[in-house]
Amino acid sequence: MLVREGIPRARRVVVKVGSSSISGDNAHQIAPLVDALATAHAAGTEIILVSSGAIATGIPFLQLEARPHDLATQQAAAAVGQNVLIFRYQNSLDRYGIVAGQVLLTAGDLENPTHRSNAQRAMDRLLGLRILPIVNENDTVATHEIRFGDNDRLAALVSQLVGADALVLLSDVDALYTRPPQEPGAVKITDVPLGDDLAGVTFGSAGAAGVGTGGAATKVSAARLAAASGTAVLVTSTSLVAEALAGAAVGTFFEPSPVPTERLPTGAIAVPTAD
């Protein structure tokens, strides 16, 4: 069973980063994020990056002042933003001679046995070729009815899909707290034992600057889903990703189930229960 200090020795790690961490005024955080991923990649770890940010990145190119609410404009922003986002990642990865592979998924892809098998096979082959897969929801074609809802859940399902040893969920906050960290009396949660229901913990609203859709509650739900499948989960800030991948005592660690990680079986998809 993987522990926090064992993350640097994990065979396969999924890292998820949110929109607010790598878009707008925080686009400069892509370079240090890539630095950390490249260090782990060079050490032999197979890295999969689940990156939000397509819509947020596309907003200024559509000359919009805020995240659009209608589906068609969200899809248009995603079409433009995904192109720019992947360019920014590849431009930074070029410093290390690493090639990115874009993988866009919808919830329907992971519910359909054929599509899920294809995605699984493609990512296995990308990793075998030492390509760094960058996964995002396919916002250009996804509808409200079939969306993952947030990329924390997508990251947990991808972890199941590829049999990841660890999942690192990144945001703007260094860890989970017993209440929103800006409130008096908030206490940092360092470890979450398997089965801990976090009774008495209060989560705040999602997203920073209105560009993201996830929050602490979605991260807990995703972490529980992944941990129950045998994947260790660490929740921390994007600025601490290097320390997280090095096994440092940062963030909130969710203990994985001792049952070995198994991939999603054909014809079945694991869905997290509501908090």
pLDDT single digits (tens) 15-45: 999 999 999 999 999 999 999 999 999 999 9
Percent of the chain with pLDDT over 90: 70
Predicted confidence (pLDDT) per residue in 128-178, tens digit:
999 999 999 887 877 664 466 678 999 999 999 999 999 999 999 999 999
In this prediction, residue 204 carries a pLDDT of: 65
Nearest to 175, CA basis, from 186, 187, 188, 185: 188
250 close to 4: Cβ distance less than 8 angstroms: no
CA 52 to chain centre: 8
In this prediction, residue 208 carries a pLDDT of: 42
Predicted confidence (pLDDT) per residue in 247-256, tens digit:
999 999 999 9
Strand-pair category, 176-177 with 188-189: antiparallel
State mean pLDDT over 237-246.
97
Distance CA 30, CA 163 (A): 26
Distance CA 266, CA 248 (A): 36
pLDDT higher for 210 or 226? 226
Radius of gyration, CA atoms only, the chain: 17
State mean pLDDT over 54-71.
91
Could you tell me which residues are annotated as the binding site for ATP? Answer: 16, 171-172
Task: State yes or no: pLDDT of 100 exceeds 50.
Answer: yes
In this prediction, residue 212 carries a pLDDT of: 47
Looking only at Cα atoms, what is the longest distance across the chain?
50
Strand order through the sheet with 252-254: 100-105, 132-137, 46-51, 12-17, 166-171, 232-237, 252-254, 191-192
State mean pLDDT over 229-253.
97
Predicted confidence (pLDDT) per residue in 172-222, tens digit:
999 999 998 889 999 999 999 998 988 878 876 544 444 444 578 889 999
12 close to 127: Cβ distance less than 8 angstroms: yes
The DSSP letter of residue 265 is P
State mean pLDDT over 239-246.
98
Task: State yes or no: pLDDT of 117 exceeds 80.
Answer: yes
Q: Which amino acid is at 77?
A: A
Could you tell me which residues are annotated as the binding site? Answer: 16, 52, 139, 151, 171-172
In this prediction, residue 216 carries a pLDDT of: 87
Calculate the average pLDDT of the chain: 88
Superfamily (CATH H level) for 4-254: Acetylglutamate kinase-like (3.40.1160.10)
In this prediction, residue 273 carries a pLDDT of: 35
In this prediction, residue 97 carries a pLDDT of: 98
Which stretches of the chain are assigned E, i.e. beta strand?
A: 12-17, 46-51, 100-105, 132-137, 166-171, 176-177, 188-189, 191-192, 232-237, 252-254
Nearest to 251, CA basis, from 167, 202, 190, 172: 190
Q: Is the alpha carbon torsion for 78, 80, 81, 82 positive or negative?
A: positive
In this prediction, residue 149 carries a pLDDT of: 61
Domain ranges for the chain, please list them. 4-254
Distance CA 84, CA 53 (A): 10
Helices 113-128 & 151-162 angle (0-180, nearest 10): 70
Could you tell me which residues are annotated as the binding site for substrate? Answer: 52, 139, 151
